[in-house]
């Protein structure tokens, strides 16, 4: 297992559409294990394969928090099959460091997916886990949370982010 490097906006790979997984082999298990390690190391509540430069439909999540037992979900070829309600919560992204914004999402979702052995699975979620599922599945479509902002907020984001990255380079 290894912690992989997380790519940052505006890295072009983050805008690409990921391919369905067809081979449930050792390489997939290695990728999933590395993604889990990278997510916990960050730390983050989720991670999608394109964030480590792999354009395959694999996401990992754990929204259990520090106080509770772990609730690790490794989802291959995830799809939302039911969505309900509306929620507006502040989001961040490991690929967009130091920027946070409120995004409108579904409040409850049902996700169908496969485990690393290819077995079909289903998971219902609400609250943070529902948001994380939508955020991670977006990554597989090349969509970042900042793509959901209004044009005005996005242009403010771009300016702020440019400055932030300039500051980082100067340090
Ligand atoms: O760690 C993360 N936290 C988070 C908080 C609110 C909404 C979504 C997220 S996902 C993010 C990790 C990440 O970037 N996953 O792609
Ligand atoms: Ni993200």
User: How do residues 106-159 score in pLDDT, each as one tens digit?
Assistant: 999 999 999 999 999 999 999 999 999 999 999 999 999 999 999 999 999 999
The whole-angstrom separation of Cα 159 and Cα 171 is: 19
Question: What was the pLDDT predicted at 1?
Answer: 81
- Does residue 91 surpass a pLDDT of 90? yes
Q: Where are the domains of the chain?
A: 12-170
Q: Which residues, by Cβ under 5 Å, contact ligand 2, an ion? A: 93
In Å, how far are 29, 119, 163 from 25, measured between CA atoms? 7, 13, 43
Q: Give the closest residue to 137 by CA, choosing from 31, 68, 39, 58.
A: 58
**Which listed CATH number (3.40.50.150, 3.90.45.10, 3.30.70.2190, 3.40.1710.10) goes with 12-170?**
3.90.45.10
Percent share of the chain, pLDDT over 90? 95
**Which pLDDT band, with edges at 50, 70 and 90, does 171 fall under?**
confident
Q: Is the CB of 94 under 6 A from ligand 1?
A: yes
CA-proximal residue: ligand 1, atom 11 (nearest) = 93
Which residue's alpha carbon is nearest to atom 13 within ligand 1? 93
What's the pTM value of the predicted model, to 2 decimals? 0.98
Residue 109: its pLDDT value, please? 99
Ligand 2 center–CA 134 separation, angstroms: 10
């Amino acid at each position: 297992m290894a912690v992989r490097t997380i790519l940052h906006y505006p890295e072009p790979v983050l805008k690409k559409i990921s391919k369905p997984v067809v081979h449930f082999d050792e390489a997939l298990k290695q990728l999933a294990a590395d993604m889990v390690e990278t997510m916990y190391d960050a730390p983050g509540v989720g991670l999608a394969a394109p964030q480590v430069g792999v354009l395959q439909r694999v996401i990992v999540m754990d929204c259990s928090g520090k106080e509770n037992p772990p609730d690790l979900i490794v989802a291959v070829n995830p799809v939302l099959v039911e969505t309900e309600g509306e929620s507006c919560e502040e989001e961040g992204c490991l690929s967009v460091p130091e920027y946070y914004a409120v995004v409108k999402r579904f409040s409850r979702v049902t996700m169908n997916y496969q485990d690393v052995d290819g077995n079909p699975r289903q998971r219902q979620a609400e609250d943070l886990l529902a948001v994380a599922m939508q955020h991670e599945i977006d990554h597989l479509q090349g969509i970042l949370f900042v793509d959901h902002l209004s044009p005005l907020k996005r242009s403010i984001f771009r300016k702020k982010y440019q400055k932030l990255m300039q500051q980082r380079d100067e340090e």
